[in-house]
Amino acid sequence: MKIDLSKIMTLGSGLLRPEGVMAADDGTVYASDGRGCCSRTSQGGQTIFFGDLGGIPNGICLDKEGNCVVANIGSGRLQSLSPQGTPKVLMTEADGKRMSTPNFPFIDSRDRIWVSNSTAHEELNDALQRVIPDGCVVLIRGGEPHIVAEGICFANGLTLDAAEKNLYVAETMKRRILRYAVCGDGSLSGPEVYGPAFLGRLGFPDGIAFDEAGNLWITFPMGNAVGYLTPRQELVMAIEDPEGLVLRRPSNICFGWEGRKTAFIGSLEGTNIPYFRTPWPGLRLIHQT
């Protein structure tokens, strides 16, 4: 399946580094913002900025109460931001180790928060120049954070499948997706490589999200592309925009609006949110009905 660039629309304006995106049931699309806050953009396109988080907000998700959970890769904090703009720190360390580069959070049906921490290096660019196996995944259950996976070469986007039996993690610097089996107590076994062991010369995966057909969508910022792995683990490139006509280093993907059949793209260099219709609904997240 190929999506023509002319079919991609944009939403909002004046955003700065909207790396993480998330769609709510009322049509609002949330995004992290490089100025240390978050944004809310209505379906009509009006954007409001709220919150004072500091740092560099990165991946985001929404909880059942409508709070925005933010992985602040610039401050080393996982934060919660209320609709009124009140921040709260949820995590700075796990098992006595500082989590200096939280990248993406995901909340499952049991209200557990899964968080990728990209690298133990304080200088993020070090881990983006070399293949360093010091990224990890943290599970926060009942407010207590514990490391459940280690040795990942820049842990990035993560998600669970529909049955919540497996956790998927974008291992950016190895240019592949990892899959871990989730045990009843939240511990993980594995990992195994999911899909091709090498996603291509520019195939550094960033954000990932499932649709209801079992396709795992992936953003590729280095290639200005968006693709997906089919249930047979075959890679299909859905959008390729090497000249950056619409996509500006796409970094995350989520689904929303009617039937969850609209995909929204976060980006590292964008000032708005690209979106397009998809053949399949996105997998329902815990804040969606």
Domain limits, the chain: 5-277
Q: According to the model, what pLDDT value does residue 130 have? A: 86
In tens, the pLDDT along 57-94 reads: 999 999 999 999 999 999 999 999 999 999 999 999 99
Superfamily of structural domain 5-277: TolB, C-terminal domain (2.120.10.30)
pLDDT, one tens digit per residue, over 12-25 is 999 999 999 999 99
Instruction: Encode pLDDT of 166-220 as tens digits.
Output: 999 999 999 999 999 999 999 999 899 999 999 999 999 999 999 999 999 999 9
User: What pLDDT score was predicted for residue 190?
Assistant: 85
Nearest to 155 by CA among 164, 146, 145, 167: 167
**CB environment 235-245: b (16+ within 10 A), e (fewer):** bebbbbbeeee
**CB crowding 93-109: b at 16 or more within 10 Å, else e:** ebeeeebbbbbbbbbbe
Instruction: Report pTM.
Output: 0.98
pLDDT at 139 over 90: yes
Q: Map residue 223 onto helix, strand or coil.
A: helix
To which H or E segment does residue 37 belong?
Answer: strand 37-41
Burial class (CB within 10 angstroms; exposed 0-12, middle 13-18, buried 19+) of 234:
exposed
Phi-psi region of 128 (alpha: psi -120 to 50; beta: other; left: phi over 0): alpha
Is residue 58 helix, strand or coil?
A: strand
Query: Where do the H-state alpha helices sit in the chain?
Result: 124-129
pLDDT tens, position by position, 227-284: 999 999 999 999 999 999 999 999 999 999 999 999 999 999 999 999 999 999 999 9
Q: Which two structure tokens, joined as six digits, stand for 280?
A: 């399949």
Query: Exposed e or buried b for every residue in 144-178, given b needs 16+ CB within 10 A?
Result: ebeebbeebbbbbbbbbeeeeebbbbbbbbbbbbb
